[in-house]
């Protein structure tokens, strides 16, 4: 399946699962704890605010390719039915764009790029949050 044939919300849906799994694997590898501690650490990376923060930091550093930026815009601009109550709309939209990038990478089976993104995100969060 080609990512160009999939709409932004669908890519974000897949990217959400991809990101959550990648973060959880990394936390287990780093022996970040058990139970509640793992859940708390997971939220540091998978919340809409965290995803938006990660995207903005990596975007400013010029880390994303032009194709990834295009998919980000598609995901960000695709209208969701509802926005979570405690998340500003612009944060939610940026996080959706970030998830769309991950969905594209997952569809393309680009595990190396996903791992590189996880590594970069890990550094961003550990240094700033």
pLDDT, tens only, 66-110? 999 999 999 988 766 666 677 888 999 999 999 999 999 999 999
Annotated catalytic residue within 8, 16, 92, 93: 16
pLDDT, tens only, 11-22? 999 999 999 999
User: What is the pTM assigned to this prediction?
Assistant: 0.89
DSSP-derived 3-state class of residue 42: helix
SS (H, E, C) 94-108: HHHHHHHHHHHHHHC
* Residue 16 a catalytic site member: yes
Phi-psi region of 78 (alpha: psi -120 to 50; beta: other; left: phi over 0): beta
């Amino acid at each position: 399946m080609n990512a160009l044939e999939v709409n932004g919300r669908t890519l974000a849906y897949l990217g959400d699962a991809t990101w959550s799994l990648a973060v959880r694997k990394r936390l287990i590898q780093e022996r970040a704890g058990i139970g509640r501690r793992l859940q708390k650490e997971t939220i540091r990376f998978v919340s809409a605010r965290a995803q938006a923060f990660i995207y903005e930091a990596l975007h400013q550093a010029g880390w994303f390719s032009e194709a990834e930026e295009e998919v980000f815009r598609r995901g960000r601009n695709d209208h969701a039915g509802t926005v979570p109550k405690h998340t500003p709309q612009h944060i939610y939209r940026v996080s959706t764009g970030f998830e769309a990038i991950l969905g594209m990478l997952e569809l393309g089976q680009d595990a190396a790029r996903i791992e590189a993104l996880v590594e970069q995100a890990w550094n961003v969060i550990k240094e700033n949050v």
